[in-house]
Structure 1
């Protein structure tokens, strides 16, 4: 009988853990959506043709199919192409803004140099 109670207790703990994980992911999704909506309402803090210096936060596969670096200028996301493979997240780069996405919530840029 005690074994049944132990199994039931373990099952309940698993369900509580899954529920907490789902809530955390939902909160993260809400925050991401709110940040995206706020970005759509403001003017981009960068200009096409200008060069900016910022840290790489991560690397990702871009819609172009290329691996690109991701960084932010004043919270505005830049996808940087042609970044040397020797660079890693945390490295600082200079990149020239090439174009904005449709909603002006991010931009594509090209690697220029490391400071």
Structure 2
């Protein structure tokens, strides 16, 4: 039985359109941003890190985020290499330039954990 109520027909049309859009977006694959992130990650795995454990580096904070440790960390890059910096004071924010000491690399050596030393 085909519904004849215009409201029901409209609702069915909207649902069908949403399903179609969802299918099309899934068939198209990852976004350009996701593809670029994957390329950068792959390239990082193929090169030696530009930082060394125990050394201190200066860089700009690109964002503050919750790290797997559960605390807020400052994120920044040294020559495109990501550093997650812990023990940041409350007045450190996005755009600040800080110095941090590298503590360890992640398993794939595509990023490192560091500890805050000072604001630059």
TM (norm. structure 1) is 0.79
Q: Which SS does the other structure have where 1:96 is aligned?
A: strand
CA deviations on 1:45-91 (whole Å, 9 max, x unpaired) are 00000000000000111011111000000000000001111111000
Q: Which SS does the other structure have where 1:38 is aligned?
A: helix
| Structure 2 alignment gaps of length 5 or more | 1-17
Q: Which SS does the other structure have where 1:56 is aligned?
A: strand
Residues 5-44 of structure 1 aligned to structure 2 (within 5 Å): 26-27=30-31, 28-44=33-49
Residues 1-115 of structure 1 aligned to structure 2 (within 5 Å): 26-27=30-31, 28-115=33-120
* CA–CA distance in structure 1, aligned partners of residues 60 and 44 of structure 2: 20
TM (norm. structure 2) is 0.76
| Structure 1 alignment gaps of length 5 or more | 1-13
Q: Over the residues paired in the alignment, what is the CA RMSD in angstroms?
A: 2.6
Q: Which runs of 4+ in 1 moved over 3 A?
A: none
Q: Which SS does the other structure have where 1:83 is aligned?
A: coil
- Which residue of structure 1 lines up, in the alignment, with residue 5 of structure 2? none
